[in-house]
Structure formats: structure tokens, C-alpha cells
Structure 1
Amino acid sequence: MDRSFTPSTFHPRRPGIYAPLRIDACGRAGPTPEAVRWSRWRRTSSGFYLPADLELIQPEQRIVEAAAVLPEYGGVTGWAALRWLGATWFDGGAGRDDVHLAIGPCNVRAQKGIHPCEEKLAPEDLTELDGLRITSAVRSTCYEMRYAATLRLAVVVLEMAAYHDVVSIEEVRAYARSLASWTGVPQLRAALALAEENSWSPMETLMRLVWILDACRPRPLCNVPVFDLAGRHLGTPDLLDPVAGVYGEYDGHVHLVEDRRAPDLDRLELFRSVGLEGAVMVAADRRDPSQFVRRLLGAYRRARNLPEGARRWTLEPPGWWIDTTTVAARRALIGRDRRLLAHRNRLRGPLAG
């Protein structure tokens, strides 16, 4: 496509992301008025443009376009800041969610896809990463939790931020103490009481909340490795009640492909052979969790009826095992030990789950 000006990359570490430009009559620093009139450029916000053939696909591109209207004091916040920090579970609802801008006492007009927030903004809550001003990880997480549509989604926000190790539960709890009567703080505090640091996907989090809040079963552990009595790793179920010997698994679309289904079934059989009873949640259960609750309660009944001595598993790891179940443990990994987190990457995808 013919253009009067070609934009440069926003930042060397963000290839394929471009900063919006203002009109320039000479065409040296931005599109000419003629180019804009002939629709060779699209308007990203009031006064800013990008070439029309640069598709708005990546969340990072949406974020940079919204950030162009930031005043001198302020930063991108909420899901968009977490995404910029590397928390890729946060995708902005596949384009449905506005990019929120924390602007403190400044004034920015709301525009399509851009939501300015005038809540108090302390200087220490602002930082810059790869040329973009954002609010800190803990402030961004608390903001997204406070304004989440439901308590359960607020828990998802915290757990997916913790999944990427950008915040810990204790960091969020400490920051929450400073918020007092801010909007959404009761929901933030309630979500903190339910949160864990080792959930690997939004649906695992939602499944655990059904387990606790709907099925009224004891709070399960998240993604803890299970071993046989000889110290061999049998598997890592999504959820596990270690007292009852009941586990839960979420089978999303990645579990339905041909090369995954057989190993999944083999693992379920292996768990049962050592005295573990399980229940599987599927995508349809999100709309109506009653069937998963029924399956889960059935697993509890089966576990109670197992004969004495059927339990041939343990959570006690062998001496060589490296723990990765907390944010602190994962942050402490260095060098080649970081490879231990690779098995979680296959699950990474949109926050909507």
C-alpha cells in the first residue's frame, strides 16, 4: 500500500508493534493530511494514526495505541499493564475489553477502546518498561481484581498474575492494606482469601472455586506432584484433596486432540491403580457446574469405599525434586532450573479460558 510515511517499531524489544503518529503536513514525522483523507491511514484515537494495512491483532498493539493519549503523568494499568509485563494469559478479552489508563488528577477524554481512570495515583506506582509507562504489577493486579465482574473472576486475575510470577499473594495483600475504602476493595479482600499461587490456567481456578463454593468440599491443593511409594513421579493433577485421596482435572480443547487423549486416559488409570479417585471438568461445565459437582461427589464416595491399604501414593518428594509451587520458589530458579517451568507453557492462552 502506498504511504506518505512509514512508522518505525515502537521499541526494539517489541517487534511488530508500532506507535501511532500525528499528522505532519510535510510527511516526515507522520502521515500527510492527504494520506489521511484517502483512508490510507486509520485513526487509532483522537489525533493519532497508523497505516490502515497494519492490522490490530496483537494485544500489545492495542495497548500502545491507547497509551498514545496518556498525559505527562499516568500509565497503562489493569490487564494491559500485566500483559506488557509478560503475563500472556491477559489478552483483553480478545479485543473486547478497553485499555485502562491510570491518570490521577489529569484529564483524558474517554474514547473507543480507551478507559481513563482518575483514581489517586502515587508516583511510586508508576514505572516504565520498553518505552511504555505502566502502573506497577501489584497496583495493576489490584485494579483488575477490584473491577472484575465477579468475585470468581477476581480470583482468576490474581492467580494468573501469580502464574507469571509478576506478583505474589503476599505482595497483593500488603498493597491492599493501603487501599482502605477504594472501589472494589471488599471483592479484592475476598478474592485474596480464596487465591492460590500454583494454578496453571483460568479454568483450573474456576474449577477449584466450584469445588470449594458449590460442592462445599475441602480446599484442594493445586498442581502438586504425586509420587508412588518408591519416589517415582506418577503425575501432577490439577487439584487434589490429599486427605480424601480425590483429585480433579480440567479437560479443555488441548486435551481432546488425538495425541493427548490416550496419555490422559492412561494417567487416569494410573492414578486409580494407586488409590486416587478423580472427577473431570469439561468446558460445558462452566455454564452449569452441577454435573461436575455430581462427578466430584461421586469421586468422594468412591474414595471413602476404597479398602484399607489401597492408598499407594505420597506427596513426599524425593530429595532431588525441586519445588515450583509458589511464586517465591519459581522466582528463585536460576539457569537451567528455569526449564522446570516449561511444562506449564502448553496451557498458556486467553484469560477467558
Structure 2
Amino acid sequence: MELHLTRPDLVVPVRADPSGRTGPTRGQVRGRHWTKVAPALYRPAGGATTVAQRIVDAVAGLPEGGAATGWAALHWLGARWFDGRDPEGRPLPVPVAVGDRHALRARAGIVVSEDWLYEDDVVLVDGLPITTPVRSVCYLARVARDEIGALRAIEMAAYDDLVSVAELKVYAASLVGRPGKRRLEAALEVADENTWSPMEVVMRRFWQRQRGRPLICNPPVFDAWGNHLFTPDVLDVAAGIAGEYDGRVHGAGPRRSRDLDREELARRLGIEVVTMMAGPGEEQRFLRRLDGAYDRARHRPRLRSWTLDQPWWWVDTSTVARRRALGPAERARWLGRRTGQNGRDFG
């Protein structure tokens, strides 16, 4: 496949050229100054290989009509939570789609999808063919190992407003007989468009499975005068219990101090805050904290000094449609608070 990239600092792999005019000679490719990235394709060796360069290397070796898909296509579009690493930080293979009319020999560093492609599934972005966000997310959700993996794909793509749940449901309905379709559809039924980090997905679904409670993601909490007080990761509105995920094994410094101030404010309002931490054995400890919070909530006075009713000046950003309607200045103001959330990036 011939690529004409418009992004800087990326190198398009080339074929060897006996004359040395359009690529390295056959003698040069046997040396240490060139790296083979695909059958008969090479690029200069040396320097760090970025995630974007890995994606380019993978796509360059595809037949015409092929494209990056899954996490790679979403990363190319700038999605925050798709960094091409597994939970241990190891590079994930680049997923590529070639359709059902081509067969591609497996090679290290890529995973091939030979599902048929719709005519409008592939788009060109900055010179690189990628599958559309809805196709990329549906693929990721279908091949996920479990519900959490499928939900992460859906909700973290929605974080950047690349897809909405409604759009994904329409596309999913067209996937007749595709493997993993049931997992995709089941995840879409419980997906939330206002999740701010991958680990919030884990905490919310664990809480719901263990305690069967309805939870709201990142709801802004106000006092009776319309002042914004805080925004918990998840909230059991009926019980007045908030959940927070803290990915730091040992919290310290100004950030932790602000977290403690927020927890104290929540207690004064009559909201119990339960924190899930990173680390082995944390799920059972989190359950014990939840049990304690629900026990205290049952003995708390019913009168509340907080509300989820939004004042006139507040802009609701809880859905993809609402966020897409914002202008650049509004996005900077109202979505800036989502930055700095705990939780590791994922592929």
C-alpha cells in the first residue's frame, strides 16, 4: 500500500531499490541502518518508535483497501485512553482490517481482522486509512475478553465524543452473524457516555454486580443555592453514597490533600464516600467499605442539603450529543475538569 502522510515526524516504509533512488539497496537493507517492518518494506533504524509509527508500519504492509482498526484507529484520531499498551504496559499488536477479499499472512506486531468491510467503513485521515470510529469500537468490543473490556472500548471512545451509544447500536444491528456481537450488544445496554476513566468502568460494574444498585457517572452535586460542590466518579443517589477510584498505591501531596478536603465536604453534606484503590485484594476491601457506607446511610437523617438539580448557569455535558454541541471555548471551560482523572490508559 502506498501512503502519503501529512503528519510530521513519521516515516513511510519503502521497498528496496537496486539503484538506491527510491529506497535502500539490497546491500543496505542487510546492514544495521535499516529496519524491516513488513515483507519487503524498510525504514531507517534508530530512534524511538512511537505508537503512531508502529501504526504506520503496520498499515504500510497491507493490501489496497486495508486499514488500521480498533485501538490503533482511535489512537490515530487522538483518543486519550487508547495508547496501545496492555495493563502491564506492554505494547499491544496493531489491529488491522483487510476485509474478506484479502488474506494476510500473520506477522509479529499486528493482529488481522478479515471480517468484511462496508463500503464506508474506511476513511483517510492525514494520509492514513483507518476504520471509522463506530467500526473500530464495535470491533474492539466484539473481540474483548469480557464485559469490562467491551465497556471500556465503548465508554472511553465516547469520552472523546468519537461515538455515541445510539450510533453504535445502529451499526451493531447491521453486523449479522459476526462473532462477539452478543457481547457488544450486551455492553451497549449498560454503557454510560459520561465515564471519565477506564477504572471507573471497573469500579461501577463491580459495585453494580455485587450490590445491584443503580449508579450515575460523574454527576455534579450542588447545594441549595446552586453552588457546585463536587463531582464524584459514581453516585448512588437513593442511598447518598459516592464512589471514587484512586489509582495511586500511596497517595501523597497536594492532590491527595484536595481529595481529603472533598471527602470531608461530602461527609458534611451527608454523602458517604467510598474509595477503591489500586492493588491486589482491593475488591474485597472495597466491598467492606461499601457495606459500612450502606449501614451508616440507613441510620442517616433523610433531610438532604445537596441536590443534583442543575442551576441555570450550569452546562450539562453528560452525553456525547451535548458535548458535541459545545464550541471550543465551552469545551475548554466545561470539559477541562475531566483531565487528571485516575486510571491507566489502555489499548
Q: 1:348 to 1:304 in 2, by over 3 A?
A: closer
The correspondence of residues 1-353 of structure 1 with structure 2, limited to 5 A, is: 11-12=5-6, 14-56=7-49, 58-93=50-85, 94-104=89-99, 105-213=101-209, 215-253=210-248, 256-284=251-279, 288-309=282-303, 311-339=304-332, 340-347=334-341, 350-352=344-346
Distance (whole Å) between structure 1 residues aligned to residue 96 and residue 343 of structure 2: 24
- Structure 1 residue 32: deviation in Å? 2.4
Root mean square deviation of aligned Cα: 1.9
Higher relative contact order (CA 8 A, sep 6+): 2
Q: 1:96 to 1:257 in 2, by over 3 A?
A: same
Counterpart residue type for residue 230 of structure 2: G
Identity %: 47
Q: TM-score with structure 1 length normalisation?
A: 0.91
Q: 1:45 to 1:349 in 2, by over 3 A?
A: farther
Distance (whole Å) between structure 1 residues aligned to residue 135 and residue 215 of structure 2: 28
Deviates more, 1:73-82 or 1:85-94: 85-94
- Structure 1 residue 97: deviation in Å? 1.9
CA displacement 1:38-73 (0-9 Å, x = unmatched): 2111111111112211322x2111111100112112
Distance (whole Å) between structure 1 residues aligned to residue 301 and residue 308 of structure 2: 20
- Structure 1 residue 95: deviation in Å? 4.7
Distance (whole Å) between structure 2 residues aligned to residue 341 and residue 21 of structure 1: 42
Aligned residues: 340
Q: Is the 8 A contact 1:221 1:239 kept in 2?
A: yes
CA displacement 1:72-93 (0-9 Å, x = unmatched): 1221111111111221211222
Distance (whole Å) between structure 2 residues aligned to residue 345 and residue 186 of structure 1: 33
Deviates more, 1:169-178 or 1:293-302: 293-302
- Following TM superposition, the consecutive aligned residue runs of length 4 or more in structure 1 with deviations greater than 6 angstroms are none
Aligned to 1:313, the other structure's residue is in SS state coil
Aligned to 1:341, the other structure's residue is in SS state helix
Aligned to 1:224, the other structure's residue is in SS state coil
Q: Is the 8 A contact 1:25 1:31 kept in 2?
A: yes
Aligned to 1:176, the other structure's residue is in SS state helix
Counterpart residue type for residue 278 of structure 1: V
Distance (whole Å) between structure 1 residues aligned to residue 53 and residue 340 of structure 2: 24
Q: Is the 8 A contact 1:254 1:260 kept in 2?
A: no
Q: Is the 8 A contact 2:249 2:278 kept in 1?
A: no
Unaligned runs of 5+ in 2: none
Distance (whole Å) between structure 1 residues aligned to residue 335 and residue 206 of structure 2: 26
Aligned to 1:115, the other structure's residue is in SS state strand
- Structure 1 residue 24: deviation in Å? 1.9
CA displacement 1:244-267 (0-9 Å, x = unmatched): 111000012398241201110000
Counterpart residue type for residue 222 of structure 1: C
Aligned to 2:123, the other structure's residue is in SS state strand
